[in-house]
Amino acid sequence: MSDEALPAPSAPRLRRPTWRDPRLVVGLLLVATSVALGSWVVSGADRTVPVYAAAATLTPGEPVGPDSLRVVDVNLGDEQDVYLRADAGPPEGRVALRVVDEGELVAVAALGDAAAVDVRSVAVPVASGLSERIRAGAAVDLWFVPSPGGEAGSGPDPVPVVEGVVVEQVDVAESGLVVSDQGTLHVLVPQDDLPGVLSALGADGAVAVVPVAS
């Protein structure tokens, strides 16, 4: 048989995909899923709400109002009820129950009634340099240093008066890395510790302020 008698091969025709083609359906589903997922991620990232942050350090017993707060927009996620929402308006008649550092979001549990605060502000004279770590909101220990009697170093040893009290206010002049010159340090003392602190302030000696490591 000669080659001329063989039928010529025909080229296969490409069929246009139809809606019944499973590959087309799967591809469209993947594209739609990717678009939906991307939209969900973007919308979730932009889902911010206005909440209050401390404009300056808040200390226990300090009244909290518009002047002590600033508004920031944050994404709270599942913590919508944990922090103080600014769209509900500023709090009225409430005080800080704990230290809230400057810029920190104000938790709802950080505010309450003044009757719930069991501390009193006590002024402690400062006669020597203080570390810059001693600032509003910092925790300090108070020690009583008796006046030396006779030879130097022969007097009674210093004794602790109260530990971990919060600094409410620092009224001293600042110079360089230390606070110098005489001034006054206001600390928040629990009522049960007031007698000991007041006795130390009235005794023959000085009250030293020691910052608590944190």
CATH of the domain at 69: 3.90.1210
CA distance 145 to 205: 6
pTM value surpassing 0.95? no
Same-domain check for residues 122 and 164: yes
* Helix-strand-coil split of the chain, %, nearest 5: 25, 35, 40
Domain membership of residue 6 (yes or no) is no
Same-domain check for residues 97 and 152: no
Structural domains in the chain (count): 2
User: Residue 67: what residue type?
Assistant: D
Cα-based angle 7, 9, 15 (whole degrees, multiple of 5)? 140
Tokens of 167: 């600094």
Give me the tens of pLDDT residue by residue for the chain, a chain 214 residues long. Answer: 555 555 655 555 555 655 566 666 667 777 777 776 766 655 555 578 899 999 999 999 999 999 999 999 998 887 878 999 998 888 999 999 999 999 999 999 999 999 999 999 999 998 656 777 889 999 999 999 998 865 555 668 899 999 999 999 998 765 544 444 578 999 999 999 999 999 999 999 889 999 998 6
- Residue 55: which domain range? 49-115
Bridge partner list, 188 = 121, 166
Q: Length of the chain in residues, anyone?
A: 214
Instruction: Say what the pLDDT of residue 152 is.
Output: 56
Same-domain check for residues 124 and 173: yes
Same-domain check for residues 96 and 157: no
Same-domain check for residues 69 and 100: yes
Domain membership of residue 26 (yes or no) is no
Instruction: Say what the pLDDT of residue 14 is.
Output: 54
Cβ neighbors of 61 (< 8 A, separation 6 or more) are 95, 96, 114, 117, 119, 121, 168, 188
Domain membership of residue 143 (yes or no) is yes
Domain membership of residue 183 (yes or no) is yes
Domain membership of residue 40 (yes or no) is no
CA distance 98 to 92: 17
Same-domain check for residues 108 and 138: no
Same-domain check for residues 146 and 110: no
Residue after which a domain boundary falls, among 115, 131, 160: 115
Residue after which a domain boundary falls, among 115, 143, 173: 115
Same-domain check for residues 142 and 204: yes
Domain membership of residue 153 (yes or no) is yes
| Number of other residues whose CB lies within 10 A of the CB of residue 25 | 12
- What does the pLDDT look like over 99-157, one tens digit per residue? 999 999 999 999 999 999 999 999 999 865 677 788 999 999 999 999 886 555 566 88
Find where tokens 């944990």 sit. 82
Tokens of 194: 């007031």
Instruction: Say what the pLDDT of residue 183 is.
Output: 83
Contact, 106 vs 90, CB < 8 A? no
Same-domain check for residues 99 and 127: no
Contact, 123 vs 184, CB < 8 A? yes
Hey, which bits of the chain come out as E strands?
49-54, 69-74, 95-96, 111-112, 119-126, 130-131, 139-146, 159-175, 178-190, 205-211
Domain membership of residue 193 (yes or no) is yes
Same-domain check for residues 129 and 166: yes
Same-domain check for residues 94 and 146: no
Contact, 84 vs 104, CB < 8 A? no
Which one, of 56, 61, 140, lies nearest residue 106 by Cα? 56
Residue after which a domain boundary falls, among 115, 139, 167: 115
CA distance 206 to 81: 47
Domain membership of residue 38 (yes or no) is no
Same-domain check for residues 201 and 155: yes
